Chains A and B, each alone.
Chain A
């Protein structure tokens, strides 16, 4: 964590260097390189099957790239396990909400604090003294997030019963509970209506500003992406075809041909 903290806003937090990934014979990502700077909102876009989600999976250690390296907060690695990514401060949300369905909103967000909680097993047995104090301390933190995301009313509702838009919000809350340095959002607005999208955009911007969290997001809604992000990477068939500010990307002929030209 200290490594990530030492990096100043604007400096490179994560760099993806010439990464390739293949499943059996199918190439999902081919020689992609880009970087994410601290405190920016970085979008990864591309048509379906462009390898966007695979890219996120590589970043947080679900997939191990066949080639190439990833450096995060100055440390370079080839293989990492997802929980190691978590310890280093990488959090994410999923395209299809991956909440803990049997638990309440609060418990889901509390689960995001797992790494920060370290009272021993003995105290956990008693749920008294230090263990309770720790629970309360983290509960307070989670309540801040609940307040931030305006989900007070569903605090104790099992997430399985929530509408989709709220589930996405809870999932964001769970990721925020990890106090991530880098937050990966996989289509945070998929399947939302206009109003929900506006809310979510606002939350993403607020997270970025309020907590200074670096955000990498995949999103289909071009309007949203252009509004939100500082810089955009465009992938197509697993290859990077463009990288730059929204304006630059918008003007890039390859992008127009490959992506914006096609109706989405």
Chain B
């Protein structure tokens, strides 16, 4: 009975008992979720347009952040470094398209997946070779990102919102909105959507698939850079961050591999779910359950909706 109480009653008693903590937990979950969603967004962009399950998305995030910080450390002014990094991400997209995607066009998904796996090795090696393996401080201030916290007294307690987290949420929203506008209202964006729906159709519109790949990978690179800056600001910039990127995977299961809203909503559900789980139920198992909780949340969802959050019910055609 005791255990049942601990599982089903106690956490809610706690929530009610310290609503400020609940709000704080939700906020942390929200911020974590936003960042997961951003990584997932990178995956989705690439998967949608080129069918590639980009395992290297996590490393791209680290690589982007590392390039930014590394350039700064080498004496490049912060905003110039940011511009240069964007350039590097473009070059990377171009290189990947030329040297990986193009030779492997029309290969089965798993082969492309594996190629991106090889890509992670290349990026890890390259990143460490150029910038060294030491963890680096994110140049938060130099990029005019806010520091400190806003403490709000509420619900009989204190809810502390880190400005950087607020910035992260804002930037994430701007990026998502920007992408939405990009997809809806620009020629290239529409082309991208056409590619996602039907490669043939896209070709007939007169858009080169190769160009689209470059654009998509570049866009994913930009998203990775943004994510890298945010995560870097929360801890530091090192290759250990790569593992965090795996968190985007349950988000993908939940949201679907091709759905941008899915990635965002999935990210938030996972982020909030795992923070609540860890915070209120984690102590039952001695904490640290965050490492797998997200996957179980995603799996549980999947059992009820195999098509994911925003996927349509699949009728198997024979």
For B99, list chain A residues within 8 Å (CB): none
For B318, list chain A residues within 8 Å (CB): 53, 57, 62, 94-95, 98
Confirm or deny: B1 has a beta carbon within 8 angstroms of a beta carbon on chain A. no
For A95, list chain B residues within 8 Å (CB): 318
Chain B contact-residue range equals under 10
Confirm or deny: B316 has a beta carbon within 8 angstroms of a beta carbon on chain A. yes
Confirm or deny: A122 has a beta carbon within 8 angstroms of a beta carbon on chain B. no
Confirm or deny: A121 has a beta carbon within 8 angstroms of a beta carbon on chain B. no
Docked CA distance A53–B315 (Å): 14
For A57, list chain B residues within 8 Å (CB): 318
For B316, list chain A residues within 8 Å (CB): 62
Docked CA distance A66–B318 (Å): 19
Q: Which of A46-100 contact B (CB under 8 A)?
A: 53, 57, 62, 94-95, 98
Interface size on A, residues (CB 8 A): 7
Docked CA distance A98–B318 (Å): 9
Q: Which of B129-174 contact A (CB under 8 A)?
A: none
A175 → chain B closest CB, angstroms: 14
For A23, list chain B residues within 8 Å (CB): 315
Contact flags B297-318 to A (C-beta < 8 A → 1, else 0): 0000000000000000001101
Docked CA distance A98–B317 (Å): 12
Docked CA distance A57–B316 (Å): 11
B177 → chain A closest CB, angstroms: 33
B109 → chain A closest CB, angstroms: 16
Docked CA distance A95–B318 (Å): 8
Docked CA distance A53–B316 (Å): 13
Docked CA distance A141–B318 (Å): 28
For B315, list chain A residues within 8 Å (CB): 23
Q: Which of B250-308 contact A (CB under 8 A)?
A: none
For A53, list chain B residues within 8 Å (CB): 318
Q: Write the chain B residue with the least CB distance to A94.
A: B318
Docked CA distance A2–B183 (Å): 61
Docked CA distance A23–B318 (Å): 14
Docked CA distance A23–B312 (Å): 13
Docked CA distance A23–B315 (Å): 8
Docked CA distance A44–B318 (Å): 17
Q: Write the chain A residue with the least CB distance to B317.
A: A53
B108 → chain A closest CB, angstroms: 12
Given contacts A57-B318, A98-B318, 6 further A-B contacts (CB under 8 A): A23-B315, A53-B318, A62-B316, A62-B318, A94-B318, A95-B318
Please list the residues of chain A having a beta carbon within 8 angstroms of any beta carbon in chain B. Answer: 23, 53, 57, 62, 94-95, 98
Closest 6 CB pairs of A and B: A23-B315, A57-B318, A62-B318, A94-B318, A53-B318, A62-B316
